[in-house]
Structure 1
Amino acid sequence: MTLPFLEVIESVSPHPNMLMWKFPDADQEIKNGAVLTVRESQHALLLNEGQLADVFPAGKHILKTENIPLLSRLKGWKYGFESPYKADIYFFNTHQFINLRWGTPSPVLMRDENFGQVRIRAYGNYNIRITDVGLFFKEYAGSYPNLGIAELELQLRDFIAPRFAAVLAGAKLAVMDVAGNIAELNEKIKPLIQSIFTGFGLEITQFNVTSVTLPEEVLQHYDKVTGMNMVTDMDKFSKFSIATAIGNENNGMADVTRQGLAMGMIMNINPSASLPQKAGPGEDISERLKNLKELFNRQLITDAEYAAKKEELLKLL
C-alpha cells in the first residue's frame, strides 16, 4: 500500500524544554508544493540524504524545488523536478532557555598572598538560545533524533568551569575579595564563554556567578577577625557569648565564639589579670575558681591557661 504524500507539515513543541525534535513523517515523502508552517520561536530544517537542504524561520513556506535550490543540486537534477521527494524535517525551539545551572565540578585552585594556594567552588546560572540553527545542527545536535535542554546543559558545564578558573587567575583578587567582586567576574567570564558557544550556534543572553564557596579554614579566619573587630565592650561580649554557648552547647561553637568567651570570662574572673592580689572584702575566690573550672570543662581554655589562672586565684586566698 502506497503511503500518502505529506502536504501539510507543522509541529507543536512536545515540551518547552526541547531544543530540537524530528518531525514524525512515518517514512512518507513530501509532496512538491507542500505547506510548511513554522510557529513563532521555532525554526525548521530540511535534511536530504544526510545533507542540510534549507532552514526556515517562523511563517508559512511552500516547499517547491525552485524555492529550495540546494535540494535540486543534492538530487543532481539540473532543472528541478515535480515528483515527491524524501527529506527529514527537524524543528527547533529558538526561544531563550533561562536559569540554566553551572558549577565547578571540582574546586578551582587560586593563589592568595595570605593563604597561599586556596581551593574554591563557584555556582551560577545563565540563559541561552539558538541563533544559528544550521550550525547548531552540524556541530552538535545532528547525532540526536530529539534533544532536550537538560542534555545540553550538562555538556556546557564542562566549558564554563575552566573559563571561570582562567578569569579568576587573571583577576588576581585576594580570596577574601572574591565574593565582593562577583559583578566584575560576570563581565569578564561572559565574553570568554560566548566565544566557545558561538561555534555551536548558541548565544549566552545572560550569565551570572551567584555564589562563591570559600574553604572552611578561610571562613574561620574571617569569622575570627570579624568577631574581634566587633568587640568593643568585653563585659557585654562575655555575657552574650555565655548565652550563645548555652544555646549551642550540644551543637558546638565556632572558634571565634570559644576564644571570645574564654577571654571575656577570664577577664571577668580576674579583671587585673597582670599581677596576683590578695582577696579583698566581699570577694569570692571560690566562685571564681568554680567559673574557671567550668570554662576548662567546656574546653574553652587550654590546660596551660587553666593552670596559670588557677595558680593566680589560689594566691589571692
Structure 2
Amino acid sequence: MIILEKLSLFEMLDQIYSLEGIQKLAKVREIPYEEGDTKKKIMKDIVDCLLEEDYFRQHLYVISDQHMKLLRKLLKQQERFILSNRNKEIEAFDELDTLDYVDIDEEREDVFIPMDVRNLIVKIDGPEFEQMRKKVFWLHAILYHAFFLYGVVKMDEVLTMYNARKGFQASSEELEQYFSYIPLDFQKFVYLDGRFIAFDLIGKDSLESTIDLQQYYEIQYPRTDEILDHYNEGYPISSINYNKIDQFLHTKSMSERQEKNFMKKFYESVIQGEQLAGLLNQFEGYLRDEDEVLFVTRTLKEIIKETPQYKYHGRNAYEI
C-alpha cells in the first residue's frame, strides 16, 4: 500500500540510516560535513538541501510521463490506501526512491512518503513545471537508450532523435540546458566538445575503440517508440520474439517487478552484443526441460538478429 507518513523527511531518514549511512548520503548529495558533526546535524543539512524548492523541482524533471500521471492520482490521497495495481503503482515512485525522497519496502511492497515531500510535490506540480518535465524527461529517455546503443553520441545526433518526436523541438543550446537538469543519480554521460560520452568510457581504451568502431557504420537512429519502450517497459513491446520471452517468464515464479527487471537487463545485454551462450546463462534455473531449452534458444537467435546493437552503431544483423 501507499503510506503517507505523518513523519517528516527528516524523521524518515533518521529511521532508515545510521550515522555512517547518513555520512555516505551526504557525500552522494555533495553536502559538506565535519568529521565531528552529529547525525542530526548532517541530516538537517541534507533535508534542507533536498526540500529546497528549486533543487526539488529540477530533480523531479526526470520522472517519466507514466510515473507522473500515476503520482498525481496517488498523491491526491490524504492517508494510507490499498493499491489497485500494486507493481505499477510502486514503480511510479522509483525515481523518488533513488533520490531519497521516499522509502520503498520491496519485501512488504509498501511505499512510505513523508508528508512534507508529498506537499512539496503538490505545490510544485503545475503547467510550467509539467512543460519542462516533459522536455527534460524526453532527453533523459534518449540518453538512457543511447548509453547502451552507442556509448558515444554527438549533439547533432541527439538533436535528431529529440526533434523526431511529434510535439518536441529544441536547439542544441536548449538540450544543454535540459541535460544540466538531469540529476547525477541518473546521469550516464558527460558532455564534452559536442559529444555525449558514457562515464564508463572516460579515460579508457574502450573510448577510442568505440569511436573507431562507429566509423564502419553510419548511425542508425531508433524510433521514438523504441526509446520510450526501453525506458518504460524494459524492452521493445512491438517485437513478437521479445514478447515470447516475456510470456515464457509469466510461467515462472517471478513477481511482475522481477520479470520487468529481468527483461530490461536481458534486452540491454542483447544491445551490448552479448552472445547466445551468455544470454542463455541468464535463464539458469528457469529452464525445466529440453523443450524449454530449445524454445528459448530458437527465440534468442531471432532476437539477436533483429535487435539494433552497439557494435553496429544502432543497426541490427539484418541491416549489415
Q: Normalised by the size of structure 2, how large is the TM-score?
A: 0.19
Point out which structure has higher relative CO (alpha carbons under 8 A, 6+ apart).
2
Higher strand content, 1 or 2: 1
Higher helix content, 1 or 2: 2
